[in-house]
Structure 1
Amino acid sequence: MTPLQIRMLYMLGLSVSLMGPFNVLAAPNEESKLKLTPEICITGDENQACEIHVELQWQLAKNELVCILSDNNAYPKWCSESLEQHTMTLSVSTQSDIHFVLVSKETNQTLAGAKLKITSTSQPQVRRRYRNPWSLF
């Protein structure tokens, strides 16, 4: 076999292996999704905790039991007990953003994620400079 033929076979093998995973992936409408309602909580002050009820809704590519994890220690791992359950309501009190992750209960594989953003309406105090920056005096 010539080096050119080897390179052609290698390129052919590489292109087949690249196409392989795309055939295995689920169609876009079949992928798992996690929806958080509402997605933003607005507080009056940046030191004030956001207190809100949020609803997590999920759609799965295949029907399976799931768990919801968060990066906030105040909200421990929660797992579904029924295949028919696709929503969860949670009372949240926090000063920082919370990222929720939907994982498969059986395989612990990450399926989807959603983030609750905390925003304050207060503007940080900025000192105004009375001199113009270009002034020579």
Structure 2
Amino acid sequence: MFLLLMATTESQATEPDWQVLPDTCVVDKPGDLCTMSLTISARSLPNDTYCLYLADQKLECWQTIKQSFQTTIRYGQNSRLALVNSRDYVVLSADLKIKTLQSPQGRRRVRSPWSIF
């Protein structure tokens, strides 16, 4: 029983993990492009060649990935950042969001367009 518990703890400790900061970009109005610098911290990645993808576009590739690195990206809508190994398997992924300061075009009507009175 103790060996089984120890084996599952070791396998959980070696699972790849990463942290992508920031994961949200704030733009002035809807449709604006977001350009931001990301800090990516990766842990427990086996030795392999990795490529970073934004949506389906390849950004960078590395023979050996560093524990922490920075990259600058540009995107115009909510997207997915993915780390893909040499066998085209998505090892890790993170969602990147865009928030706008201005509300979408058009005004909301507060009351009904007609009234009996």
- Greater per-residue strand proportion: 2
Task: Report the equivalent of 2:75.
Answer: 94
What is the alpha-carbon distance in structure 1 between the residues aligned to residue 37 and residue 77 of structure 2? Answer: 15
The answer to whether structure 1 residue 117 and structure 2 residue 101 are counterparts is: no
Amino acid of the structure 2 residue aligned with 1:67: C
What is the alpha-carbon distance in structure 2 between the residues aligned to residue 42 and residue 68 of structure 1? Answer: 22
What is the alpha-carbon distance in structure 2 between the residues aligned to residue 72 and residue 82 of structure 1? Answer: 22
**Shift in Å at residue 39 of structure 1?**
0.6
The normalised TM-score by structure 2 is 0.71
Task: Report the equivalent of 1:78.
Answer: 60
1:38-72 CA-partner distances (Å, limit 9, x unpaired): 01001121122212111222123534332222215
Alignment partner of 1:47: what SS? coil
Task: Report the equivalent of 1:16.
Answer: none
**Shift in Å at residue 77 of structure 1?**
4.3
Instruction: Indicate the structure (1 or 2) with the bigger Cα radius of gyration.
Output: 1
What is the alpha-carbon distance in structure 2 between the residues aligned to residue 122 and residue 72 of structure 1? Answer: 29
The answer to whether structure 1 residue 60 and structure 2 residue 44 are counterparts is: yes
Aligned ranges 1:4-19 → 2 under 5 Å:
none
Q: Give the aligned length.
A: 109
The normalised TM-score by structure 1 is 0.63
Of residues 107-116 and 26-35 in structure 1, the stretch that sits farther from structure 2 once superposed is 26-35
Instruction: Give the root-mean-square deviation of aligned CA atoms.
Output: 2.8
Q: Which structure 1 segments of 5+ residues have no match? A: 1-22
**Shift in Å at residue 118 of structure 1?**
0.9
Percent identity reads 17
- Greater per-residue helix proportion: 1
